[in-house]
A and B are shown apart, each in its own frame.
Chain A
């Protein structure tokens, strides 16, 4: 089983739609979770952290379900500029917090 699994997509949605991605992780000891965004042929960039209580940043909402070991990202009112690949990222080892495990990403295409 992969350490971090994501549906590769692509999710093809119209502008203004709401779209949600899930990600599952295998290591129950993982403590930190993040979503990164990667534009085509560019480097990844941090989108947001995922907190246990859930957190929101504008049109983006991230949630964590520790019992089921999954993380979600909800995007409301999708914009054309949201088209990208979204990487689910998990801290690999609580004793070496700087090592991150990256999922292979979910591709989002927002059409006019």
Chain B
């Protein structure tokens, strides 16, 4: 099992460009999350999903969109990239009854210049 995979690993965007960060899990979990982690800061929840077709905003959703058409995939879309979106993005999931043990993907390092 691959667990949680994320692509790309690194990306540099110009201001105003758009991109989609991919996240996939092969654990058949319903819950999935997107976080961002700025240097020296804790993880901030961007969006989360409790199952296919259901998504909701987290703490810092502005500038992002998500979709969840399948259990496996939870892509994060950045429209009109801004320097403030320079960060490391982590996707995570967990078992139904064990929300405290979140399994994270390896992250995507994004720089917007």
Q: Taking chain A's interface residues, is the majority helix, strand, or loop, or is none over half, making it mixed? A: strand
Count of residues in B whose CB is under 8 Å from the partner chain: 20
A1, CB-defined interface residue at 8 Å: no
- CB of B40 within 8 A of CB of A43, answer no
Shortest beta-carbon distance from A60 to chain B in Å: 16
User: Of B35, B42, B58, which is in contact with the most chain A CB atoms at under 10 Å from its CB?
Assistant: B42
Q: What mask results when residues 32 to 53 of chain B are scored 1 for a CB within 8 Å of chain A, else 0? A: 0001000011110100101000
Count of residues in A whose CB is under 8 Å from the partner chain: 22
- CB of B43 within 8 A of CB of A44, answer yes
Q: What mask results when residues 98 to 111 of chain B are scored 1 for a CB within 8 Å of chain A, else 0? A: 01111011110000
Tally of contacts, chain A with chain B, CB under 8 A: 48
Per the bound structure, the CA–CA distance linking A60 and B41 in Å amounts to: 24
- CB of B31 within 8 A of CB of A102, answer no
- In the complex, which residues of chain A have a beta carbon less than 8 angstroms from the beta carbon of B41? 104
- In the complex, which residues of chain B have a beta carbon less than 8 angstroms from the beta carbon of A55? none
Given A42-B106, A43-B90, A44-B104, decide whether A104 and B48 contact each other with a Cβ distance below 8 A: no
Shortest beta-carbon distance from B31 to chain A in Å: 6
Per the bound structure, the CA–CA distance linking A45 and B105 in Å amounts to: 10
- Give the contacts of A1-50 with B (CB-CB under 8 A): 4, 8, 32, 34, 42-46, 49
Shortest beta-carbon distance from B51 to chain A in Å: 12
- Give the contacts of A88-112 with B (CB-CB under 8 A): 89, 91, 97-105
- CB of B48 within 8 A of CB of A100, answer no
A71, CB-defined interface residue at 8 Å: no
- CB of A99 within 8 A of CB of B48, answer yes
Shortest beta-carbon distance from A102 to chain B in Å: 4
The contact sample of 6 A-B pairs, CB cut-off 8 A, is A8-B40, A46-B101, A49-B100, A99-B45, A99-B48, A100-B99
Complex A-B, nearest 5 residue pairs according to Cβ-Cβ distance, in ascending order? A43-B104, A98-B99, A102-B42, A102-B43, A104-B42
